[in-house]
A and B are shown apart, each in its own frame.
Chain A
Amino acid sequence: MTKLAVILGVPIALLATVASLGVVVVDVREGGPDGHRIVVPVPLVFAQAALAIAPAVVPADKLRIPDNEALEHIGLAREVLEALAQAPDGELVRVEERDELVVITKEGRSLRVRVSGAKENVSVNVPLHLALQALPDEQGHIRTAALAGALGAVRFTDLVDVQDGNDHVRVWVW
């Protein structure tokens, strides 16, 4: 009986520990009567570990954006994201067209982008601190360790929600 408890208890405890550290869930639902549903849970700790060890296993030039125009604007992007993070909440952009509505709002520490069309609805939530950490440094190096650290703070966030006809894709961090 004790053996059974240990055999069952250890994996359950491991699962509970991993889950308590956060899980990124990708949920794809196909429409129609024969539509499939695919749910892929990825423990956040795995993603963080992969990012943390990336500099050791990936060549340095692969973790760097090329010297081009984009690199020149990293400073501007950082300044804007920092200013946005400190700015009060509000609706930043609204584009209304005949068959589409695009709204970008700043809510707390996130930017929410919503696109509503006749057939498609998209909602993307961009945590500002994650976007800041995802920005390369002035030399174009992607700071994977900082990104790994920032991932931990996006728990309980809906990142992406796409409704296309009867198909539905959702990515969230639990």
Chain B
Amino acid sequence: MRKSILAGAGLLALSILPAVTAAAQTGTAWLHVRVEEAKQASKVAVNLPMTVVEAVLKASPEMIEKHGKIHLGEEHGMKMADLRKAWKALAEVGDAELVTVESEEENVKVMRKGDLVQVFVDRKPKPGKDGKAATKGAEEVRVEVPVSLVDAFLSGEGEEGNIQAAVAELQKRRGDIVRVNDEDSHVRVWIDEQNTQSPAGK
């Protein structure tokens, strides 16, 4: 009898467990930003449903035109048509290290890996006084942009980037987008379906 009760309770707990763990899962994509600054002992967490992000991007008048497109134009250094051509050529190459810069101050790498464009920047620490071991100024930046996001952004016409298509693509993305770590602060931007920043997500 006792075993039956225990088994029943166990089954009940198992049936409740998915409901409990899924309590924070909203089925909607959420954009999360987390900034931690150790010196100031401050932590900032922002969680926004992608629908709200989309609304902000759609309605921001300075940057985006009525139809949700960003003008790139020549004033930004590169014509959109050239950017499209370059991107098409890169797509045909497949996985490759696109840019490598190695200097005394920092190493920069831009590569395409699978369905991601990865940008890695590693700033080296400044050397200490009198040739002592380097201690301060180190910084690590990791940016991961899905190829499909760039495809969507470049799907506009003329000198316009299609921000609406890009946001729609971003809605499908799950995982890290940006990570910046330096000695004082940590910044992380990611997308998932949680409406809060769970300890696992820290």
Measuring CB to CB, which residues of chain A are less than 8 angstroms from any residue of chain B?
A: 72, 75-76, 78-80, 82-84, 86-98
- 26 CB contacts below 8 A, A to B, read A75-B59, A76-B56, A79-B59, A80-B52, A80-B55, A83-B51, A83-B52, A87-B52, A88-B27, A88-B28, A90-B47, A90-B195, A91-B45, A92-B46, A93-B44, A93-B47, A94-B44, A94-B45, A95-B42, A95-B43, A95-B45, A97-B40, A97-B42, A98-B40, A98-B41, A98-B42
* B61 and chain A: residue at smallest CB distance: A72
Residues of A within 8 A of B134 (CB): none
Shortest CB distance B68–A (Å): 12
Shortest CB distance A106–B (Å): 9
Q: Are A92's CB and B40's CB within 8 A?
A: no
Interface residues on B, range: 20 to 34
Q: Are A91's CB and B196's CB within 8 A?
A: yes
- B153 interface residue, CB < 8 Å from A? no
**Interface SS of A by simple majority:** mixed
* B193 and chain A: residue at smallest CB distance: A88
* B46 and chain A: residue at smallest CB distance: A93
**Interface SS of B by simple majority:** mixed
- B186 interface residue, CB < 8 Å from A? no
* Tally of A-B Cβ pairs under 8 angstroms: 72
Q: Are A91's CB and B43's CB within 8 A?
A: no
In B150-202, the 8 Å CB interface with A consists of 195-197
Shortest CB distance B181–A (Å): 19
Residues of B within 8 A of A79 (CB): 55-56, 58-59
Q: Are B55's CB and A82's CB within 8 A?
A: yes
* B37 and chain A: residue at smallest CB distance: A97
- B100 interface residue, CB < 8 Å from A? no
